C-alpha cells in the first residue's frame, strides 16, 4: 500500500499531505518511524569512535525525524479533527510511542556515551546553546530512569505505558461528555436577554442537528454567552450543571477513577526516580524550581487578591439584589450580573464591541502587529493541504522576502475538536550545516461561527485569545536555533506563556486597535470612547478572576504534591484544595478535576501556576514596550532576538535579563491588575 506519510512530502514547503492521508496510514507510518528512530539511535550507540558532542549529543537531537513528524500530525488531528477510529488508533499508538521513548531513555550504552560527554563539558569548547543541549540531554536521561537497575527500568516502562493510555482515555471522556449534551429550547420566551447573534447561532445549530427551536451546547461560543445574557435562571443552572459536571456523572465517561489513577501513577513514577512527589520531579526543570516556591508564589498573590475579590463579590451581590435577584447568588448567576454591572458601570459590553471585531479583520490586525514589530508578512495560500475545509493556511515571509514558515489557522468549534484554544507545531525549525528547516505552526480556537446574515464577530475576550495563541505561534515561527530540541516553544513550561501573554497587551492599546477594529457593516473605526472604556474596564472584577486562576493552580499543585490517597473522593479532595481561594458556596454534583484536561491530558501537571508566573514576566516586559513605544523597533528587535528566536538555547532568566536588563518584579502585574 502506498503511504503518503512514508513518501517525500511534495506539497508546498513539504507541508503535511492531509489531502492524501487516510486513517489506515498512521499505524504503519508510526511503526516504520519507530524502526527508523531506533536505527538512528543504534548508529550513535554503535559508533566505534569515542563519544563526542557531535557524534552523540548532536546526532541524538537529529534522530527520529520521521516518527516526530508522523506523531505530531497524528496527535494534532486527535485534538482538532478526531473520530472514533482515530481515538482507537491513539490507544494503540500511544503505548508504542511510550515504549519507543523508554527504549531510548533507558538505553544503558547510549547513556554512558552521553555521560562521557557531559563529564567533559568544562573542557569542551561549546557554545552556550551547545552547553544547554548537552545539559538538557543528560538531565533528560538521568531524570527519566537511565540510572535505574533493570528491574526498576521495566517498572518505569509499565508505568509510562499505563499513564499514556489513561491520559488519552481521560481526554476522550471529556470530549464525549461535551458532545453528548445539548439544551434544546422550543419557547422563544426562554431566550429573553440573549443577543440576536447568539440566538441566530443557536438556531443554526438546531438546523444542523435537525431539531426544532434553538440548540445550545457546551462549546464555549454557545455556553459562555448563554451564561452571560440568558434571563431564564433555571436554564442557566441546567447548562452550568452540565458543563461543570462533565465526566463526573454516574456513566461510562466518568473520570474519577482516571484522575485517581493518573495521580497515583505519577507519584509512583516520581518515587521510582528518587523524588518525593510528581511536583518535585516536574519543578526541578522550571523557573520556579520547587513546590515550596510555587505555593509561596500562589499564596503571596492570594493574600493580595482575596480582599479585593471579597469586596467585588459583595458589590456583585448587592447589585444583583437591586436587580431583583432573590436568595443566594449562585455560580450560574455570577456571569449574568457581572456583565450587567459592567455595562452599567462602563456603558460597554460584548454586544456593543462585537461589531468592531469581525474575525477576518482581527486576523489581519494581528498580522499587521507582527509586521510592525517583527517585519513579517502573511500571504494566504490555497495550495497547501488542510485537514478540514475550515482551516486556512498562510506563507510567512520577512520584509526581505525570505521564507519564515507556514501558518495554519483553525477557528471554529465542531464535534471532532476539543474545547479551548491552543497553538501546536507540525514541524520545528532547526539547522544542519548551511541547510535550515523552517517551521510549520498552527493555532486552533473555538470562536463563534458566521451565520447566514452575520460574519464571525468576536467578543473582546476572544480577541485577546487570538492574540494569545498568535503569540505562541510567533515563538514557533521566529525560532532561530541550531537544534530542534531547543527550538521555538521548547522552553521551560513557566516561560512558554510569556510570548503569548505579552501579546495580549496590544489589544488594549488605541494605536493597535486602530489597525483593525472597524464596524463590520459601516467600516467606521471603533470610537475612541469605546477604546477608553476597554482600558477602564480591563481590571473589572480582576480580584475574582485572579482568585479563580489561583484556585486552579492550587488544585493542580495539591493533586501532584500531596501523597496519593484513593480513600478520599475526588470531590472532597478538590473542595479542600480549592477552599482557600474559593469565595462562593460549593455545589453538589459538579467537579473541576474530572474535566481538567490541562493537567490530566495536556502538559500542565504541576504547571498551571505558570499562567500567573508568566503574567509577572509579561507585565514587566510590556511595561518596557510602553516606556519606549508599543511598536518601538529597538525593543521589538531585542524581544525577537532574546526571547522569540532564542527558544530554549539558554536559561530563560538569562534570556529575559538580556532583553529587559533586569529580573522582573511582581510590581508591574499588581499595578496592571489593580491589586497594588
Q: Which residues are catalytic?
A: 469
Other Cβ atoms within 10 Å of 438 Cβ, number: 18
Distance CA 590, CA 577 (A): 15
Nearest-angstrom CA–CA distance, 274 and 98: 20
The C-alpha cell of 228 is what? Answer: 452571560
Radius of gyration, CA atoms only, the chain: 25
Please tell me what DSSP assigns to residue 589: T
The pair phi, psi for residue 390, each rounded to 5°, is -80, -10
394 three-class SS: strand
Q: Give the integer Cα–Cα distance in Å for 583 and 306.
A: 9
Q: Are 450 and 456 in contact (CB under 8 A)?
A: yes
Q: Is 396:377 a contact under the CB 8 Å cutoff?
A: yes
> Distance between CA 644 and CA 641 in Å, rounded?
6
Measuring CA to CA, which residue among 442, 481, 433 is closest to residue 647? Answer: 481
Provide the pairing of β-strand 403-410 with 440-444.
Answer: parallel
Contacts (Cβ under 8 Å, ≥6 apart) of 326: none
8 Å CB contact between 560 and 605: yes
Angle at 455 between CA 454 and CA 459, to 5 degrees: 100
Residue that has been written with the C-alpha cell 473522593 in this structure: 569
Question: Which residue reads 490541562 in cell numbers?
Answer: 598
DSSP codes, 592-661: SGGG-HHHHTSS-TTTTTHHHHHHHHHHHHHHHHHHH-TT-HHHHHHHIIIIITTTTSS-HHHHHHHHHS
Q: Are 527 and 536 a contacting pair, CB within 8 Å?
A: no
The C-alpha cell at 447 is 470562536
Amino acid at each position: 500500500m502506498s503511504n503518503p506519510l512514508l513518501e517525500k512530502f511534495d506539497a508546498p514547503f513539504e507541508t503535511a499531505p492531509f489531502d492524501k492521508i487516510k486513517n489506515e496510514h498512521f499505524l504503519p507510518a508510526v511503526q516504520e518511524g519507530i524502526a527508523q528512530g531506533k536505527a538512528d539511535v543504534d548508529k550513535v550507540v554503535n559508533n566505534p569512535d569515542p563519544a563526542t558532542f557531535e557524534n552523540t549529543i548532536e546526532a541524538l537531537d537529529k534522530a527520529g525525524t520521521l516518527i516526530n513528524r508522523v506523531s505530531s500530525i497524528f496527535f494534532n488531528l486527535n485534538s482538532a479533527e478526531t473520530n472514533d477510529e482515530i481515538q482507537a488508533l491513539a490507544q494503540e499508538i500511544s503505548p508504542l510511542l511510550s515504549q519507543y521513548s523508554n527504549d531510548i531513555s533507558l538505553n544503558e550504552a547510549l547513556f554512558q556515551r552521553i555521560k562521557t560527554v557531559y563529564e567533559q563539558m568544562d573542557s569542551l569548547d561549546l557554545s552556550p546553546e551547545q552547553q544547554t543541549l548537552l545539559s538538557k540531554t543528560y538531565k533528560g536521561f538521568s531524570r527519566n530512569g537511565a540510572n535505574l537497575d533493570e528491574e526498576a527500568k521495566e517498572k518505569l516502562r509499565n508505568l509510562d505505558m499505563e499513564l499514556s493510555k489513561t491520559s488519552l482515555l481521560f481526554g476522550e471522556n471529556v470530549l464525549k461528555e461535551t458532545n453528548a449534551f445539548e439544551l434544546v429550547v422550543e419557547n422563544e420566551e426562554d431566550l429573553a436577554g440573549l443577543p440576536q447573534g447568539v440566538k441566530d447561532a443557536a438556531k443554526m445549530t438546531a438546523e444542523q442537528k435537525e431539531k426544532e427551536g434553538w440548540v445550545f451546547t457546551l462549546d464555549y461560543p454557545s455556553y459562555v454567552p448563554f451564561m452571560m445574557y440568558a434571563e431564564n435562571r433555571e436554564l442557566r443552572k441546567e447548562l452550568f450543571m452540565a458543563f461543570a459536571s462533565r465526566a463526573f456523572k454516574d456513566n461510562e465517561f466518568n473520570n474519577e477513577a482516571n484522575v485517581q489513577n493518573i495521580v497515583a501513577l505519577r507519584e509512583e513514577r516520581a518515587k521510582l526516580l528518587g523524588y518525593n512527589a510528581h511536583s518535585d520531579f516536574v519543578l526541578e526543570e522550571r523557573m520556579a524550581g520547587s513546590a515550596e516556591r510555587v505555593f509561596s508564589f500562589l499564596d503571596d498573590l492570594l493574600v493580595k487578591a482575596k480582599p479585593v475579590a471579597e469586596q467585588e463579590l459583595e458589590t456583585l451581590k448587592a447589585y444583583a439584589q437591586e436587580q431583583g435577584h432573590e436568595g443566594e447568588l449562585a455560580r450560574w448567576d455570577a456571569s449574568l450580573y457581572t456583565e450587567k454591572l459592567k455595562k452599567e458601570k462602563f456603558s460597554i459590553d460584548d454586544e456593543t464591541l462585537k461589531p468592531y471585531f469581525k474575525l477576518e479583520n482581527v486576523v489581519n490586525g494581528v498580522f499587521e502587529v507582527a509586521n510592525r514589530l517583527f517585519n513579517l508578512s502573511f500571504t494566504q495560500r490555497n495550495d497547501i493541504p488542510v485537514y478540514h475545509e475550515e482551516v486556512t493556511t498562510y506563507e510567512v515571509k520577512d520584509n526581505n522576502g525570505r521564507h519564515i514558515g507556514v501558518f495554519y489557522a483553525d477557528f471554529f468549534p465542531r464535534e471532532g475538536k476539543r474545547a479551548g484554544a491552543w497553538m501546536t507545531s507540525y514541524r520545528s525549525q532547526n539547522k544542519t550545516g548551511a541547510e535550515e528547516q523552517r517551521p510549520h505552526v498552527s493555532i486552533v480556537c473555538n470562536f463563534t461561527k458566521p451565520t447566514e446574515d452575520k460574519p464571525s464577530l468576536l467578543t473582546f475576550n476572544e480577541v485577546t485569545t487570538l492574540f494569545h495563541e498568535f503569540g505562541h505561534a510567533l515563538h514557533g515561527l521566529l525560532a532561530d536555533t541550531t537544534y530542534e530540541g531547543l527550538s521555538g516553544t521548547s522552553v521551560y513550561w513557566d516561560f512558554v506563556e510569556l510570548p503569548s501573554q505579552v501579546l495580549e497587551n496590544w489589544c488594549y492599546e488605541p494605536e493597535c486597535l486602530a489597525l483593525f477594529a472597524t464596524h463590520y457593516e459601516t467600516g467606521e473605526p471603533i470610537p475612541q470612547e469605546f477604546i477608553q472604556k476597554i482600558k477602564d474596564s480591563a481590571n473589572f472584577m480582576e480580584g475574582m478572576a485572579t482568585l479563580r486562576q489561583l484556585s486552579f493552580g492550587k488544585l493542580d499543585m495539591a493533586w501532584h504534591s500531596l501523597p496519593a490517597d484513593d480513600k478520599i473522593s475526588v470531590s472532597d479532595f478538590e473542595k479542600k484544595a480549592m477552599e482557600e481561594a474559593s469565595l462562593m458556596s460549593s455545589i453538589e454534583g459538579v467537579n473541576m478535576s474530572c474535566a481538567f484536561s490541562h493537567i490530566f491530558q495536556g502538559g500542565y501537571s504541576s504547571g498551571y501556576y505558570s499562567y500567573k508566573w508568566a503574567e509577572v514576566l509579561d507585565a514587566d516586559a510590556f511595561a518596557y514596550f510602553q516606556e519606549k513605544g508599543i511598536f518601538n523597533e529597538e525593543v521589538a528587535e531585542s524581544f525577537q532576538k532574546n526571547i522569540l528566536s532564542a527558544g530554549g538555547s539558554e536559561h530563560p532568566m538569562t534570556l529575559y535579563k538580556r532583553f529587559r536588563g533586569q529580573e522582573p518584579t511582581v510590581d508591574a502585574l499588581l499595578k496592571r491588575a489593580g491589586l497594588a
